Structure 1
Amino acid sequence: MAIKPIPKNLEQAFNATKYQIDFYQRQYKWSKDPVERLLDDLFYKFNIDYVKIGESLDPENASKKISQYFLNTYVTNEVNGNVYLVDGQQRFTTLTLIFIQLFHLGNREEFKSELVEWVKERIYGTSGPKKIFYLNHVKHLECMKSLFENKPFKEINTSSGKTAANMVTNSRIIRQWLERELTTIHRYDTFVYYLLTRIEILNLDVVQDDVPMVFEVINDRGVSLKPHEILKGKLLGQIDKDELNSLGINEIWDKQVDALEEFGQDEIDQFFEIFIRSKIVGTRGISEKYTSKNYHRILFTEEVEEYFKLNRNPARTKVFLKNEFIYFTNLYAKIRRLRAAFHSGFEHLYFNQLNDLNGHFVMILSACKLNDPDEDEKIKLIGYHYDRIYTLLHLQKAYVNNVMADLIYAISQDIREKSCDEIPAIFETHLIHTLTDKKNQTVEQAFSYNYFKDVGYADLPTRFNRYFLSRIEHFMTKGLQVPFEVSFDNLVRNTGPVNGYHIEHILSWNEDNLALFNNDEDVFERERNRLGGLLLLRGNANQSSGKEKYSDKLDTYSGTLIWNETLIPATYHSNLDLNLFNQKFGLGLRALTQFGPEELEERHKLLAKMVEIIWK
């Protein structure tokens, strides 16, 4: 392996060399900002020095008075007579678009520059009647041809993909920029000389016949390829070019990557981190070996290679890309969509997201096998049990730092490709084991009032307090078959002073309430913080209740959330639905005209009953 640095100007870089971009490279993704940064770089020195020259000096000599500019590096690799552009495709595509627009601008009647043929020779060469574009975007040559022929932008067919669409969009930007900057024939010609002879770029030519190995080596040299770009080269580079085309492998890769990038840039790297962990990892410590930054290396080594079998294995690689890669990226995207909003039946993924929990990705991908017929049921089960284990650990003071991270990988290992019938018991076993460990005594059931009875505001994260009360509200609205009128997001996340929801203490800090607890301030503070003494109130209502007496607070609670209104006598008048709901679940809901230690205990026990129903 050797890397040969070769300095070139742009005339030399774009001179009869056909750069292949046909199987491993990412699509052309530059948007307005990076295109304009490149244009700004090209014109920065030019504009500073040009004003000092004047138009009496001919353009060629005028360009020599402008400072040279270094445009970074690009990386090539020659295999079997073909030159592959390993890194630099985004810049080279943009430069080609600049050459095309320079060619059209120079051909305008007001210019008729003698340099347009020189510019054209940077865009393509000829073989008989054929135009051979130096930047060989195999799928998008028709778009490149249309741009060169100066067809109206809106008439150019961009159906070949994102690369074509971005080439057209960026060509508009480039045309407008050049028209603004190059307003005279002298400026135009001087800029062309400057661009082609004074802009320098360093070619790093990698001498390596093993195409997949090139990407790893290039990355070792610090070139800014992303992990999934390197992986694409190492995977697709194993496959015969004819098969790549006939099987549509490159199209498969790009389609799946594009689908994930709807959720964020380089989401594909997050997917591979999670996918590998879901199939290999059993502990949090081991999971740290496999990250979104290094998976392209470890995918071909040790236990990961033992599972995936992709190293120098074209047959297996083709099967993987046509099957597992499609299925699991689609599954990952599905989870992303489902967790983004409340979807009935899959609502627990949304609840997980409200609590910033991501472990369902690993566990669901672990539980599902290729084309799993029980996929939806597994998503529902895992979303529910993940929420359940997270909630019950919090409500019993058994949640400590990293406990969920440890559980995610332990559970993931145990449910790997297991049936829906087996999954709940596995979660239950891990929950009981964790409670036993944290309580340092034998625990035989998932929820115990003894562990719940003292839990209060100070024991739980603020967001979890709000989440817990929002789930109580959801349970009641669902049971009463009335609309859940406030969004979970508003109840759990919105802390604004007007519409945001806040924790309300039923027992305000005042002398009357303190007296109910024998004027013991420590006991009063502990008791008033218990979950049975808390409500959710919208910001302005919460502020207005202040230090009111309980009898005055009841008016504040009217017209708020249903759980709050269950304290009010009027709520029960002729409310058949509430009475039936109360009877169905044996809750013992009743109005409370006063609120002291006994009523607080009653409400706390009532919440415990609801916990057992919601997280049964």
Structure 2
Amino acid sequence: MDISPDKQNIDRVFSNTTYYIDFYQRDYKWTEPPVKRLLDDIFYQFNNNYEEFKSLDANKENVMSKYNWYYLNTYVTNIVDGKVYVVDGQQRLTTLTIILIVLLHKSKEFGCTEPFTRWIESKVAGYSGGDYSFWMRHEKAINVFEDLTKGVEDLKSIDISSGVTSKNIVDNYVIINNYIKQQITSKHAFETFTYYFLYRLVLINLTVEQTEVPMVFEVINDRGVKLKPYEILKGKLLGQIDKDELNQLKINDIWENQVKKINSYHDDEIDDFFTFYLKAKFSKTRAEANRFDNDYHRTLFSDFVKEHLDLDHNTTNVKSFLLNDFKYYTNLYEKLLKFSFENDEHREIFYNALLDRNTQYMLIISACKLNDSDEKRKIDSIAYELDRLYNLLLLQQGYDSNLFATNVYKLNADIKDMPVESHREIFDKYLLEMLSASRGSKITNTLSYSYFKDAGISLDIRFKRYFFARIERFIADNTNLELKRNMYDLIRNTGSKNGFHIEHIVSENDENYELFDNDDEVFHRERNRLGGLLLLKGRDNQSSNNEKYEQKLKSYSNTLYWNETLREDTYKSKLDFKDMMKKHSLDFRHMDKFGPEELEERHKLLYEITKIIWK
């Protein structure tokens, strides 16, 4: 590898070279903190010298001989087809350009000579090879540099619709202008600072060969401000492709569009996509999957992945990956993110998301082949089977988080590219294995009442709310009714006013203790079974607290459908409800009293509904 270092002051950096922004570079993302740090560093050094030498004339000779030089860091370039591309350092170089634009206007304010002003102007833009250009060639922000250089008075009139680069350039112009206005109050100080800025601030330019840009880019990133893994990955992938092909195939546009689409849901969500994708396609065990949890952009080029996806110094494979796999699976992932919000088309995606079961994304990506014609059915099938797996384990006290985390990667490998018809068998295999492990004996039934009997005692609050929300959805769907509250509120809203909370039908009072033979352990175990619970909105829950059952029954009116099934008026002239009972052989009935027998009856009813929902 050939690296050529070159020490340059700013006067030389911005003299006759147009710097194009390479694909590796992010948008211009510096905001106030890094900009002010740079200004603080520059002025700290300058002010120390100026205090000592301010009696000297402001000219090049005095500044060059008396003022200490200051090192501003390194910037890296490579030359392709005669154009100089910035590999690293465009954040700093862009900020220096903005400072120069501010100095240009200050020179006019202080009444500096025309040659002096033109000198500053020539550091912002000039002629190179016969063409006039800003030395920092931000293609989408040229209009911003033009307006700022012209001195547009109303900065709000500048068109910044091209994106974050344009916005930050304008914002930082204001920050820099205000900073310099406070620091420099005289013409002498201004001219001295300008000479200092252009002659004594030093950068080192490293010119590297194109073939080594991806590697150099990552090394530079390791010692500087961290880029996101996907930003490094972009450089390592796109850096292998000839720039003419990048433009012809619009690969950079594809990358930017897909990343923007994914990141619109959450900041840097694209990093999560790559983690899920790589685990889905290239891991068979938990240990293999863990390799992708941190620096996946490095693991992607490891020998471990190379067996399946060879992207290291392989332009043909890189182009194929970006034009096919990357495009298809990011589109698939974006659909899953969209479905993770309440919808009627893919409900189980939303249900899993409500409980933060992000494993579904990995499993769906694993199940779907490239350009899968059966994609929709696979999405629904995997989401449903995962929901069923979790729920039947939890409801039968068979869920072990460590064992589940281990088995999910084995499951992931088993369902890779498999047809929908095989999903139930694969999921049931792991369901039965985990139930058997929890019981210490071989289990052959995926759901049995003997294991469901104590459901509720050890379940966490969110899952209990989730369970009753699903019961509520079941009743609404089967009686042609709308939900009284949306699923998110039922499960996730915990506010004291509109949030929903777990209500114990059996209150803690002497009368109810007697129903359980005054056995404190039995009383608390039984009242916490699902048959003795329901959901109530915040204030309703508080008001019913330790009331007798007859009073509680009144407070259940006009709440949720499951609560109202305890009341006699629920069954009057409601044909749809009766049709549901008949269709599914469900023995709903109102209950004027509520003790151990009624609790057991309600628990069994929930078991029957569970069998229908998670059949």
| CA-CA distance at 1:378 after TM superposition | 1.7
2:600 alignment partner AA: E
Which moved further from structure 2: 415-424 or 163-172? 163-172
Cα distance in 1 between the residues matched to 2:247 and 2:209: 26
Cα distance in 2 between the residues matched to 1:113 and 1:49: 27
2:597 alignment partner AA: E
For residue 433 of structure 1, give the secondary structure of its aligned residue in structure 2: helix
| CA-CA distance at 1:322 after TM superposition | 1.6
Match of 1:580 in 2: 579
| TM-score under structure 1 length normalisation | 0.89
| TM-score under structure 2 length normalisation | 0.89
| CA-CA distance at 1:110 after TM superposition | 6.0
Q: For the structure 1 residues 346 and 46, does the alpha-carbon distance in structure 2 shift closer, same or farther, using more than 3 Å as the test? A: farther
CA deviations 1:166-188 (Å, max 9, x no partner) are: 44554455556556765654454
Match of 1:11 in 2: 11
| CA-CA distance at 1:554 after TM superposition | 1.1
Match of 1:137 in 2: 138
Residues 385 and 427 of structure 2 are in contact (CA less than 8 Å); yes or no, is this contact kept in structure 1? Answer: yes
Match of 2:431 in 1: 431
| CA-CA distance at 1:128 after TM superposition | 5.0
2:601 alignment partner AA: E
Residues 111 and 184 of structure 1 are in contact (CA less than 8 Å); yes or no, is this contact kept in structure 2? Answer: no
Match of 1:100 in 2: 101
CA deviations 1:117-172 (Å, max 9, x no partner) are: 33223323413541243323356556545554556756666666553454455445
The reply to whether residue 272 of structure 1 matches residue 274 of structure 2 is yes
Match of 1:380 in 2: 380
Q: For the structure 1 residues 9 and 581, does the alpha-carbon distance in structure 2 shift closer, same or farther, using more than 3 Å as the test? A: same
For residue 323 of structure 1, give the secondary structure of its aligned residue in structure 2: helix
Cα distance in 1 between the residues matched to 2:504 and 2:85: 68
For residue 343 of structure 1, give the secondary structure of its aligned residue in structure 2: coil
Match of 1:254 in 2: 256
Q: For the structure 1 residues 330 and 33, does the alpha-carbon distance in structure 2 shift closer, same or farther, using more than 3 Å as the test? A: farther
CA deviations 1:439-487 (Å, max 9, x no partner) are: 2222222211111001224x11221111111111122222222221323
Q: For the structure 1 residues 301 and 42, does the alpha-carbon distance in structure 2 shift closer, same or farther, using more than 3 Å as the test? A: same
Cα distance in 1 between the residues matched to 2:216 and 2:390: 45
Cα distance in 2 between the residues matched to 1:81 and 1:220: 29
Cα distance in 2 between the residues matched to 1:536 and 1:202: 66
Q: For the structure 1 residues 67 and 342, does the alpha-carbon distance in structure 2 shift closer, same or farther, using more than 3 Å as the test? A: farther
Match of 2:459 in 1: 460
Q: For the structure 1 residues 66 and 606, does the alpha-carbon distance in structure 2 shift closer, same or farther, using more than 3 Å as the test? A: farther
Which moved further from structure 2: 307-316 or 22-31? 22-31
- Superposition pairs for residues 213-228 of structure 1, below 5 Å? 213-219=215-221, 224-228=226-230
- Superposition pairs for residues 198-237 of structure 1, below 5 Å? 198-201=200-203, 210-219=212-221, 224-237=226-239
Match of 1:603 in 2: 602
The reply to whether residue 543 of structure 1 matches residue 545 of structure 2 is no
Which moved further from structure 2: 181-190 or 120-129? 181-190
| CA-CA distance at 1:308 after TM superposition | 1.8
Residues 64 and 194 of structure 1 are in contact (CA less than 8 Å); yes or no, is this contact kept in structure 2? Answer: no
Cα distance in 2 between the residues matched to 1:606 and 1:553: 20
For residue 504 of structure 1, give the secondary structure of its aligned residue in structure 2: strand
Cα distance in 2 between the residues matched to 1:257 and 1:220: 22
| CA-CA distance at 1:48 after TM superposition | 8.9
Match of 2:553 in 1: 554
| CA-CA distance at 1:271 after TM superposition | 1.9
The gaps in structure 2 that reach 5 residues or longer are: none
Cα distance in 2 between the residues matched to 1:512 and 1:590: 23
Match of 2:121 in 1: 120
Q: For the structure 1 residues 495 and 154, does the alpha-carbon distance in structure 2 shift closer, same or farther, using more than 3 Å as the test? A: closer
For residue 322 of structure 2, give the secondary structure of its aligned residue in structure 1: helix
Which moved further from structure 2: 492-501 or 522-531? 492-501
Which moved further from structure 2: 185-194 or 471-480? 185-194
Cα distance in 2 between the residues matched to 1:357 and 1:487: 19
| CA-CA distance at 1:372 after TM superposition | 1.9
The gaps in structure 1 that reach 5 residues or longer are: none
Cα distance in 2 between the residues matched to 1:531 and 1:7: 74
| CA-CA distance at 1:347 after TM superposition | 1.8
For residue 605 of structure 1, give the secondary structure of its aligned residue in structure 2: helix
Cα distance in 2 between the residues matched to 1:64 and 1:398: 79
Residues 310 and 317 of structure 1 are in contact (CA less than 8 Å); yes or no, is this contact kept in structure 2? Answer: yes
Cα distance in 2 between the residues matched to 1:145 and 1:315: 40
| CA-CA distance at 1:509 after TM superposition | 1.3
Cα distance in 2 between the residues matched to 1:284 and 1:243: 38
Match of 2:491 in 1: 492
For residue 502 of structure 1, give the secondary structure of its aligned residue in structure 2: strand
Match of 1:369 in 2: 369
- Superposition pairs for residues 330-345 of structure 1, below 5 Å? 330-339=331-340, 341-345=341-345
| CA-CA distance at 1:43 after TM superposition | 5.4
Cα distance in 2 between the residues matched to 1:496 and 1:45: 54
Residues 79 and 211 of structure 1 are in contact (CA less than 8 Å); yes or no, is this contact kept in structure 2? Answer: no
Cα distance in 1 between the residues matched to 2:375 and 2:114: 64
| CA-CA distance at 1:279 after TM superposition | 0.7
Q: For the structure 1 residues 518 and 174, does the alpha-carbon distance in structure 2 shift closer, same or farther, using more than 3 Å as the test? A: same
- Superposition pairs for residues 171-570 of structure 1, below 5 Å? 171=173, 174-175=176-177, 185-186=187-188, 188-201=190-203, 210-219=212-221, 224-291=226-293, 293-339=294-340, 341-457=341-457, 459-570=458-569
Q: For the structure 1 residues 516 and 65, does the alpha-carbon distance in structure 2 shift closer, same or farther, using more than 3 Å as the test? A: farther
| CA-CA distance at 1:297 after TM superposition | 1.9
Q: Percent identity?
A: 47
1:481 alignment partner AA: N
Cα distance in 2 between the residues matched to 1:93 and 1:546: 64
Residues 101 and 175 of structure 1 are in contact (CA less than 8 Å); yes or no, is this contact kept in structure 2? Answer: yes
Q: For the structure 1 residues 421 and 53, does the alpha-carbon distance in structure 2 shift closer, same or farther, using more than 3 Å as the test? A: same
Cα distance in 1 between the residues matched to 2:491 and 2:460: 11
1:468 alignment partner AA: F
CA deviations 1:244-301 (Å, max 9, x no partner) are: 222222222222222222233333222222211111111112101123x322222223
Q: For the structure 1 residues 111 and 611, does the alpha-carbon distance in structure 2 shift closer, same or farther, using more than 3 Å as the test? A: farther
Q: For the structure 1 residues 147 and 129, does the alpha-carbon distance in structure 2 shift closer, same or farther, using more than 3 Å as the test? A: farther
